[in-house]
Structure 1
């Protein structure tokens, strides 16, 4: 008897537009090149334009975007200029979105956060299985030919947030962008040579903002608003930081890395449903 095919899993993916000294954001360059389907009954829904690097347009867009695509999984992508690797972020916090102004010259106050998210916890983590996802993702990409900027020989020892140390740095732009941590932390360090890895440093700018807002939005979707096999009430949303990819070769690798991440996310999401 032939095995029963898996039900279609719907994955929403977004990327950001230009900001500050990033005139071409590689996150949307990747998203705009993704296929609409992947093997094993996976459908990809990409937002047709870059998400503006602005708080209010972003949060106004999310309800319609999630509602119209009815994703089982949402993947938001952004760039971390100082990194030389791809990283899936564990979670995000709702405070400190007033640290720096967005492309519209505005910030997002804690009072606005209360109005948007009510009594949602200060910190939210994805409900997806990151351990299983990262393990699978690393296996799927282990034979990739990495561009010079991402090769092991060119990598630094990883950013300070992901060393097995306690570290304290002052607030500033790199904190908000997710390049360094602001608070004291002590976490297990991933292998600093891994081109794809786990992280817990999404930052306090639009990357952290869309991640937190996306997790809230996904958890609020009802059975009527989601697909037939969605996990109602779960934060099945995740965020990936990509390096500052520039060349066509680098963007192409980014597309391949992303499709393998999607496969890994879906594989582990389906296991959670069993």
Structure 2
């Protein structure tokens, strides 16, 4: 059941998702550097100079300020009746390419919004190839959103 306060609390949480392996994971942190080592599809990199200009003296590693252990606990509770139980995890391996870059940028920007909190979570999902996979992914995503809302409501 969705609580009536879900939307008001989610307005303070940023959720971003990308494809990964065969499980669902929320990431705890991201690094600000190493993006100069990985060209994008246009063979461009985010240079060391751009890193310094854009992120100044931001810390090398930024973590979300959300209580992710509690989020995962609530996430799993929401999915307790799902058969088979989906593999949902807390991870600290967002990687240093597009996902890590997007997560770090989101953490920096969210921290600038008033109270300095970094209420951001990066969500890795498996590849959805069938309608059944999509329904399963939808169920897992809704359960995560509920867990985030309940945890952020505190």
Q: What does residue 118 of structure 1 align with?
A: 56
Q: Any stretches of 5+ residues in structure 1 without a counterpart?
A: 1-37, 45-69, 152-193, 223-231
For 2:135 and 2:54, how far apart are their aligned partners in 1?
37
Match of 1:79 in 2: 19
The 5-angstrom pairing of residues 2-21 of structure 1 reads: none
Q: For structure 2, which runs of at least 5 residues remain unmatched after alignment?
A: none
Partner Cα distance (1:251, 1:105) in 2: 32
Residue 201 of structure 1 and its aligned partner are, at CA, apart by 0.5
Aligned to 2:36: 98
Structure with larger Rg = 1
Distance in structure 1 (CA, Å) of the matches to 2:81 and 2:36: 42
2:97 to 183, 199, 205: 205
Q: CA deviation at 1:110?
A: 2.1
The alignment's C-alpha RMSD in Å is 1.9
- Report deviation, 1:216: 0.4
- Give the number of the structure with larger relative contact order, counting CA–CA contacts within 8 Å between residues 6 or more apart: 2
**Correspondence for 2:121:** 238
Equivalence for 1:33: none
User: Which one has a larger percent helix, Structure 1 or Structure 2?
Assistant: 2
Counterpart of 2:7 in 1: which secondary structure? Answer: strand
User: Which ranges of 4 or more aligned residues in structure 1 deviate by more than 6 Å?
Assistant: none
The match for 1:259 is: 142
User: How far is 1:142 from its partner?
Assistant: 2.2
In 1, Cα distance between the equivalents of 2:130 and 2:37?
Answer: 31
TM-score by length of 2: 0.91
Q: CA deviation at 1:104?
A: 2.6
Q: Deviations over 1:7-61 (max 9, x none)?
A: xxxxxxxxxxxxxxxxxxxxxxxxxxxxxxx5423339xxxxxxxxxxxxxxxxx
Structure 2 CA distance for partners of 1:103 and 1:42, relative to 1, 3 Å: farther
1:266 Cα deviation after fit: 1.2
1:214 matches 2:106: yes
Alignment of structure 1 residues 57-206 onto 2, 5 Å? 71-80=11-20, 83-146=21-84, 195-206=87-98
Given that 2:66 and 2:120 are in contact with CA atoms closer than 8 Å, whether structure 1 keeps it comes out as yes
Aligned residue pairs, count: 152
Q: Is the CA contact (8 Å cut-off) linking 1:77 and 1:240 kept in structure 2?
A: yes
1:97–1:205 Cα contact (<8 Å) kept:
yes
1:124-155 residue CA offsets vs partner (Å, 9 max, x unmatched): 00000011101111111122134xxxx7xxxx
1:86–1:195 contact (8 Å) kept in structure 2: yes
Give TM-score, length-normalised by structure 1: 0.52
Question: Contact conserved, 2:18 with 2:99, CA < 8 A, in 1?
Answer: yes
Would the aligned equivalents of 1:133 and 1:264 in 2 still touch at CA under 8 Å? yes
Determine the structure 2 residue equivalent to 1:250.
Answer: 133
**Cα displacement (A) at 1:196:** 0.5
